[in-house]
Structure 1
Amino acid sequence: MTRSSEPLAAQARTLARAGDWDGARAKLMQLVGEVVGGEATDLAINRDQYSLNSLNGRVSLTDGRTLFFKYHNEEGEDKTIEEYYNAELLREAGYRVDVPLFACGEPGRQILLYALRADSRLADVCRDIEARAAWSEMAPVVEAQQHFDEEGVAGALRSLVPAEVEKVCREPVHQLFHHRLVSEGATPGFGGRVARFYVGQHFRFPGVEVEWERLASLQWVVNGVPYASTLGELFAEAGIRLLPAALADHGAVTAHGDAHNANVWYEADGETPQLVSFDPAFAGRQIPALLAEIKATFHNIFAHPLWLYEPHRVETHYQVNVRLDEGRIHVDHDWALTPLRAAFLDDKTEHYWRPLLTELRARGWLPTDWERVMRLAVFCCPTLVLDLRADGGSGHTPHSSALGLAIAVMAGCCPVEGEDAFSRFFARLCEA
């Protein structure tokens, strides 16, 4: 395969973000042609709310085939990923995974091409149920998720091995966490995306505006519940505790690492629906066990309904009020998990996390601060996947910004008193 002088996938992502969909389409058609060794005759890009750092769609080839493509590009971070697509290693480990027909993992050109499916992505199935409040239709989806969690923990336990520091540090899953917290010359926790998104920036919330320097040191009170850490403290702690070498103090597993529902097919043509993952961009053989299912836990459950992926709808769906007093920021909101997401949380708790933690404890591989590790990683999911500031370039509004940061704080630290959805989740895990 001949590599072009410029990273075509990166160019396509930039063009798409600028609204030049025709330009992005042309770049992707050129890239697909180079990867498959033929010519692409047509290409359509899906424009959905889940493609935060990637694009996907359909491409037609001169041989008559139509394929599904997906590529992933992290701005300024391409060189940190060496082996990008790992479907084969997941299949070898016994996971249910869609293996691409073609793949290119070169920095700036990462793309996968799959046989075209008629199946929906699980993200779209769930969104449809929630949009219609069709809770009577969610049972088969919940059952499929339960089986997927059972298969996931079985794969994790089957592949669970002592962590090897050098191998752990090379795993691409850290791209989702620590690599987004650091950059040369910056204090750990305040580099990377934190520096680009938040440090030195102005924040707009409903009726309140505040600079980062002040916001970073404010104590949060959410729905009357005070929280133990500030944003600044959470980013600083994450920059230290999520250091890859620091996560090699417990077991490691073979896992997908990024199995959010937009990376999962919902196969409904059999006797019972089943789930199949794809796009294992961050899969690996030595993923720290406590990180393996973090992205799926947050993005499939707590990022819904709609506030992270469709921030423009927050103001019409939720009440979000903000006020400042001496040293505190108060956020009151009425966001809550839907029945579907609550059922997913029950499944993930009982059929993935509790069995995994029980086995890690039995082998002596569960660190004493396992809850802090998990909370910090969950905190990173909303804050580092895109800029949560209003007018920060990712579509967030004052209402969604306040709600998103409040949920991130709820995820990242324990309430000083009272409880919330995250503290109840971790309380159940402590029983494992």
Structure 2
Amino acid sequence: MPQPTSRTAEIRKIAKSGDGQAERMLADLLRDLFKIEPRNVAINHDQYSLNSLNGFFDTDDDQFFFKFHQEEGEEAMSGEYYRADILARAGLPVDQPLLISVLPGEQILVYRRRTDPRFSDVLRALDLKDDPPARAKAVEAERQMSEAVLEVYRETLHAVTPQNVAAEPIHRLFYERLIDPPTGSYPGGRMASFYVGKEFAFPGVTLDWQALSRLPFEINGVKYRDSLGVLFNEAHERLNPVRLADAGGVVAHGDAHNANVWYEDHGDTAHLSFFDPAFAGEHIPTLLAEVKTTFHNILAHPFWLYDPALASEHYTAAAILDGDLLRVTTSYEVSPVRRDLLSVKAEAMWKPLLTDLKARDMLPEDWRRVVRLGLFLCPTLVMNLRAGATSHNPVSSLVGLSSAIMAGSEPVAGQDMLSRFFDVIDPDRG
């Protein structure tokens, strides 16, 4: 049976041409859904809109901001988008939409237009030029947000069934990007279309997927245990929604990367608030709730995921094939503000959350593996990391896949930034 036509998918596709047709289609969609007369429809073309579209429009009454998220094949995926009321009822700081549609293929949120920057824009400026006082204010705003979110997790943590978990839309960001949703076949979805059977051009070596997927990486002298293929296979097995009920569930945003967070600057202090709760839920698997925020707000920066061309100007990277080992050297490192944010995530969120799970006898023995596999899928399936496939170049591709390996795999020996992070948050380590 053919899938219904998705108007949002068509708008996203046509928007790339920049010829004005997408704006006209969007005006028609808004008119049909909400019985309003939109004018001056403008689509933002920014680096963070990997799977979404946002922009502005006017009516006789006011100025508005719109956003929608759209996944290929979403009509066959699980869960309901945009349960915006869930977060507000739980007490999370969230900007409530004025208008909302959850119709398949026509999901969209409309907000009153704000002049506040997104937190992603504030942090990008700090990546480009560090400003210690501004950095301290931004990091403190993140600490306050993490503490507020942690309290909601503590208050809403509850036992869940596999059926509860499987019904949540967050799996569209993880498991359902590994498979063909209508059939469940693996490898499928984005994994198959992005990587399987493809060629990978890195500075120094070109490899096909069959070879690359089996190779362990050594990155700046640290050897990692698991190959890309092993990590994808284990993610397919362990992140299956029916296996994620063992750590309970919480009320969560699910996709609170910082392009979905407003930064309200009050002079000496700043305040953060969420918007675009496309994947919000009441039974979000606890160990997945903070995965997207941890990777996309910290480990995906500076530049390599969202600004690949800039990454190739700032960093070097090269690879050589040494027998059955891919040796990678790179000058990439996280910026001071991202290091500070990682410390906040460890101290104000992950450590106390895992400690609570352990105290309630809800912490699986393999919790590190679950979190690492979630972190691994964040960059590899949010966009195609192969050079030349979309916006990535050989340097950013190698940095990106190396970052994914470091997120997903334990080092064979020694430590790196992420192994130290996991040691800090481990509730058995004091």
TM-score norm. by structure 2 comes to: 0.96
1:154/1:276 Cα in 2 relative to 1: closer, same or farther (>3 Å)? same
Look up the SS of the partner of 2:20 in the other structure: helix
Which of the numbers 370, 383, 406 marks the counterpart of 1:410? 406
Corresponding position of 2:24: 26
- After superposition, the C-alpha distances for 1:252-299 in whole angstroms (9 at most, x for unaligned) are 100000000000000114763110000010010000100001000000
Which of the numbers 152, 162, 165 marks the counterpart of 1:165? 162
Return the alpha-carbon distance in structure 2 between the equivalents of residues 201 and 388 of structure 1.
11
- After superposition, the C-alpha distances for 1:36-67 in whole angstroms (9 at most, x for unaligned) are 21211111111111000111111112x23111
Look up the SS of the partner of 1:229 in the other structure: coil
Return the alpha-carbon distance in structure 2 between the equivalents of residues 82 and 178 of structure 1.
13
Asked if structure 2 preserves the Cα contact closer than 8 Å seen for 1:163 and 1:248, the reply is yes
- Are 1:337 and 2:334 an aligned pair? yes
1:128/1:173 Cα in 2 relative to 1: closer, same or farther (>3 Å)? same
Return the alpha-carbon distance in structure 2 between the equivalents of residues 330 and 186 of structure 1.
35
- After superposition, the C-alpha distances for 1:295-330 in whole angstroms (9 at most, x for unaligned) are 000000000001100011122101101111211111
Return the alpha-carbon distance in structure 2 between the equivalents of residues 410 and 127 of structure 1.
22
Which of the numbers 39, 54, 57 marks the counterpart of 2:55? 57
Task: Give the Å deviation of 1:176.
Answer: 0.6
Task: Give the Å deviation of 1:419.
Answer: 1.3
Task: Give the Å deviation of 1:220.
Answer: 0.7
Corresponding position of 2:392: 396
Task: Give the Å deviation of 1:139.
Answer: 1.2
TM-score norm. by structure 1 comes to: 0.95
- After superposition, the C-alpha distances for 1:161-206 in whole angstroms (9 at most, x for unaligned) are 0122211110000111100111266764x22111010000011001
Within 5 Å, give how 1:188-337 maps onto structure 2.
188=186, 190-269=187-266, 272-337=269-334
- Are 1:7 and 2:6 an aligned pair? yes
Corresponding position of 1:125: 122
1:181/1:98 Cα in 2 relative to 1: closer, same or farther (>3 Å)? same
Corresponding position of 2:112: 115
Return the alpha-carbon distance in structure 1 between the equivalents of residues 19 and 424 of structure 2.
46
- After superposition, the C-alpha distances for 1:362-412 in whole angstroms (9 at most, x for unaligned) are 01000000000000000000000000001112x000111111001100100
Over aligned residue pairs, what C-alpha RMSD do you find? 1.4
Task: Give the Å deviation of 1:243.
Answer: 0.3
Asked if structure 1 preserves the Cα contact closer than 8 Å seen for 2:78 and 2:166, the reply is no
Which of the numbers 353, 372, 383 marks the counterpart of 1:375? 372
Asked if structure 2 preserves the Cα contact closer than 8 Å seen for 1:45 and 1:57, the reply is yes
- Give the partner amino acid of 1:9: T
Aligned sequence identity (%): 46
Return the alpha-carbon distance in structure 2 between the equivalents of residues 269 and 351 of structure 1.
22
Task: Give the Å deviation of 1:107.
Answer: 1.9
Question: Which structure 2 segments of 5+ residues have no match?
Answer: none
Look up the SS of the partner of 1:75 in the other structure: coil
Which of the numbers 160, 174, 178 marks the counterpart of 2:175? 178
Corresponding position of 1:38: 36
Asked if structure 1 preserves the Cα contact closer than 8 Å seen for 2:166 and 2:242, the reply is yes
- After superposition, the C-alpha distances for 1:94-151 in whole angstroms (9 at most, x for unaligned) are 1110110001112221110001111110001111122222233211111110000000
Asked if structure 2 preserves the Cα contact closer than 8 Å seen for 1:9 and 1:27, the reply is no
Task: Give the Å deviation of 1:8.
Answer: 2.1
Question: Which structure 1 segments of 5+ residues have no match?
Answer: none
Look up the SS of the partner of 2:68 in the other structure: strand
1:102/1:81 Cα in 2 relative to 1: closer, same or farther (>3 Å)? farther
- Give the partner amino acid of 2:130: A
Asked if structure 1 preserves the Cα contact closer than 8 Å seen for 2:175 and 2:240, the reply is yes
